[in-house]
Amino acid sequence: MSRKIIHVDCDCFYAAVEVRDDPRLRGRPVAVGGDPQRRGVIATCNYPAREFGVRSAMASSQALRLCPELVILPPDFDKYRRVSGQIQDIFRTFTNIIEPLSLDEAFLDVTESPLHANSATRIAEAIRRKVRETVNITVSAGVAPNKFLAKVASDWRKPDGLFVITPEQVAGFVAALPVKRISGVGRVTEDKLTALGIKTCGDLQTLPRLELANHFGSFGERLYHLARGEDDRPVQTSRRRKSVSVEKTYHEDKQTLTHWLQELDDLLERLERRVDRLDANYIVQGLTVKVRYNDFRIVSADQSGEHLDRAVFERLLTQLWERHPAPARLLGIGLRLRDLKSPRQPDLFPEERERALRDRRQ
């Protein structure tokens, strides 16, 4: 039986809560973020601000240059968590199968819900109405047979919208869907796909699985299925980690590699504390570092490994410095994890891989 999945996403959540609590802000461009005088960054902004080009992760100072009338408010995460809890309580009146992704979005499985004659569309409408009436903010929702399409759908008619993809509409919908809408396709992957002449999921369907694997590694298998609108991931009521990391934005740029490496002790101490809070079912698979330069370009590097190792982080940071020696405004380190509670994925195209190995041996 086809699943009935709803993805609910609050519209400009932090900013929406602030506008709700201060009616004087209604209709004005509003952002929540850091102090522009102290190298702050925008966490989120409302739609009036977006019309000026303001975006999340943008420097607050740059946002003010784009929109001099922008109101930048400091975040109040305790308040946002309380509001998120109210919304989660509303979700639970419709289903217990809920997978929160963050404070402002979640997947809901209503496949077997007896409410509203088991109509996922009507349930989504009821959720949106109840959040608006109870919490006084708006949410957008997407309804689809799986998580991938539900998340795409929730973004289709933002803000304050509802979009439904029925099982019968999946093939036609994904054929025309731009590949950049696929979760995990960033600028680099999109550029690679464009170089292959791939712009839509319909184009992507023409590439064999083995070719996708050759170009994109393990992500190629996921691309193969998502391009066809296939996603069998269940809504998980308890989420498990794939990584753990820490980062720090500095008031003054770290000008040299020596300055970068001097920050490692503090970052390592914070990362160790986070690792200590993990349960025993996680094992380390790799180490990674991240640098945001003072021109806001972000780069990263990683290496396989089985434990937290300062020397590896030093080596990765050195590689990034040698590649682009420039002042950094942010440094971060982290670990890639394997969850022993999660089953290992089988090789989903063993025949193609075996054929490729034979060809290579010949």
Give percent helix, percent strand, percent coil of the chain, each to the nearest 5.
Answer: 45, 25, 35
Q: Does 358 reside within a domain?
A: no
Query: Which own/partner contact pairs does 34-37 have at CB distance under 8 Å and 24+ positions apart?
Result: 34/60, 34/74, 34/249, 35/60, 35/72, 35/74, 36/60, 36/61, 36/63, 36/64, 36/72, 37/61
Note the pLDDT tens digit of each residue in 94-103: 999 999 988 8
Together in a domain, 9 and 113: yes
Q: Does 360 reside within a domain?
A: no
Does pTM surpass 0.85? Answer: no
Q: Catalytic annotation on 105?
A: yes
CATH number of the domain within which 201 lies: 1.10.150.20
Together in a domain, 155 and 176: no
Together in a domain, 155 and 195: no
Together in a domain, 9 and 143: yes
What's the pLDDT at 132?
A: 96
Q: Does 122 reside within a domain?
A: yes
Together in a domain, 188 and 177: yes
Q: Does 345 reside within a domain?
A: no
Together in a domain, 152 and 257: no
155 annotated as a binding-site residue = no
Quick one: tokens of 303? 């290496």
Together in a domain, 9 and 114: yes
Q: What residues make up the domain containing 65?
A: 15-76
Together in a domain, 264 and 320: yes
Q: Does 153 reside within a domain?
A: yes
359 annotated as a binding-site residue = no
Identify which of 46, 49, 55 has the alpha carbon closest to the alpha carbon of residue 18: 46
CATH number of the domain within which 38 lies: 3.40.1170.60
Looking at 105, 272, 352, 354, which residue is catalytic? Answer: 105
What's the pLDDT at 1?
A: 60
Q: Does 359 reside within a domain?
A: no
Together in a domain, 9 and 105: yes
Q: Does 125 reside within a domain?
A: yes
Note the pLDDT tens digit of each residue in 166-195: 999 999 999 999 999 998 888 888 889 999
What's the pLDDT at 37?
A: 84
Together in a domain, 248 and 332: yes
List per-residue pLDDT tens for the chain, 362 residues long: 689 999 999 999 999 999 999 999 999 999 999 888 887 889 899 999 999 999 988 889 999 999 999 999 999 989 999 999 999 999 999 999 999 988 899 999 999 999 999 999 999 999 999 999 999 999 999 999 999 999 999 999 999 999 999 999 999 999 999 999 998 888 888 889 999 999 999 999 999 999 998 888 888 889 999 999 999 999 988 766 788 999 998 888 999 999 999 999 999 988 988 888 777 778 888 999 999 998 888 899 999 888 888 899 999 999 999 999 999 999 999 999 987 766 444 333 444 444 443 443 33
Together in a domain, 258 and 331: yes
Together in a domain, 248 and 335: yes
Cα dihedral sign, 62-63-69-74: negative
What's the pLDDT at 344?
A: 45
What's the pLDDT at 341?
A: 64
Domain tally, the chain: 4
Residue 110 has phi, psi (to 5 degrees) of -115, 25
